[in-house]
Structure 1
Amino acid sequence: MELSILKVFTNTLKVAEGDQCLVSGEHILVSDMDTKLDDIYFSLQRLPLHGRVELNGFPLNTGGTFSWGDLHSLRIRYQHDGSEVLQDDILLEVTDGINSAEFVLHIEVLPVNDEPPVLKADLIPMMHCSESEEVAITSEYIFATDIDSDDSKLVFTIARKPQHGVVRKAGITTDHFSQGDVISGAVTYKHTGGEIGLVPHFDTITLVISDGEAGPFVNGCCYDVPHPSFPLHQSFPVYDLNITVYPIDNQPPSITIGTMFVVDESFSAAITINHLSATDPDTAADDLEFVLVSPPQFGYLENTLPSVGFEKSNMGISVGKSWFHDRK
């Protein structure tokens, strides 16, 4: 039985005029002694008047929901519409499945006096990487310009790390790098997720682009405490770099010997997966092939299935190889 009261505490969200900002656990704090945070959900009760709320880059409408996990993983953003109004708010409801409470997240809009970095318009939206391999992150995938700064000194900071790999600079895992590093070819993505099976996996790196010459700290947009990776700017473009990881057939099959194979004198018997089987994380079972290296001394192997395009059985014809699916 739940006896505790669901409590919500908020800190004002600060965002530069016309910009977007991550909504995190620093802005919305939930207290519920009887419920795991993973069971906490939020619903949008009223849209902000001067912007929109986004989940993974897609706008949320009235009644749209997101989880505490989405909030904690920095998947929620507020996008300001660029108007001159310097205040906004979001009406939300939080629930643990039994109790619920409405609350307002206040937004302070900071006027902008300089130009933020701007991402190149025709960036390639998806990188490709083979399983367990490493690929360069080049300016075809991430590139920005800033009329107030040297473009090579723009800083890319990782706001959300990839789930199946790491970002490296000159061979060392890093959480930030400059555009000059990208141009020189020093920045890479390395897949570290091991075997992925038969289908591709998808990974994402969320990057915040800032002006490296502006100073060592940020106060306002996305964080209300100093963070050494961000310069002192009021607006930060956020970009999701998507990666497709493709499987590689680089593992040999594993053979399993089952129960003893028994056949009566002068008779035949079927060899099934109970006697002989194989698995391969990189290959579908029906594509595995057994090849006869040394024939039996007092008999022969036959595949009684008809050849492709024929109906007559191949019984009595010795074979040198067999497909895995023929023994099912």
Structure 2
Amino acid sequence: MLLFTIEHGDRIPPTLKINAGLHLQDRSTATITPDLLQLTDLDTTTSNLTYLITLLPRYGKLLLKGTGLPSPPRFFQTDIDHLDLAYQHNPGSPAELDQFYFLPSDGTNKGYLEFGQLREEPAVFNIQVEKVDRISPSLSHTESPSTIVDLGAGRYGIFITSRHLQGSDPDSPLEQLEFFIIRPPQFGFLENAATGASISRRFTQQDLDQRSVLYILPVDVNVTADSFQFRLVDPAGNQAPPLMLELFWSRVQLLASCYRTCETSGSLQIQIQRSGRSVDPAYVSIQVSLDLG
């Protein structure tokens, strides 16, 4: 009688089936799951499929059950399957592409299979760290506008530009900063000088840079000051505390609409009344007509 002994032989290298990489926000920790990294092997148990680390991440660290990797650094497919492997981005490190290099191993064969080809060089697991904007914007310059412009048709306005409101944000494009109106002006209203549309909710730093924000003075109320409250917001949604812009101007009036005098009188006293802001220069136009009668 002949006895045959059949020994199981491991002839097939492991296959790197999935190497999708990881995306996470800066200063955060994310689990490396089987749908991101997976080894398979027809003749090796999962518990023996090993990832031998040849180069550790630069901007973060790999954690195994919340602690560092053993020495020499390695982990198993079962660690991934049990959700025990994670990557932690280091606070203060740049939000850039990070990665670690590894050699898949079944403990017997040399190399591993990827896309049907035998490879012996280390594989790369890419980690894309996305920078999160956590800094609120602020006003780097504010000044009360006061220069009145004659818009024609009995309308007068004050341009609000980047000279009066200038936002600042270290991690956002300045032209994309938005000014959300919390309380509109009490007497006049804001208008887009480029489109003629009323501004009721928001305008941008770019609108200020392009001189598109206009405060329209009230015609039926005798006031020389107004204000509106706003909140400065960056594209990520970070908000500054509520802020207020005050507008001041002056009104100049002649006490009489018409003065009569003779050319031999020498001089004529014209009484002018000015109210409101007196810092800026004011101008009055007078038309002279000759009475030949």
- So what's the TM-score if we normalise by structure 2? 0.49
- So what's the TM-score if we normalise by structure 1? 0.45
**Structure with larger Rg:** 2
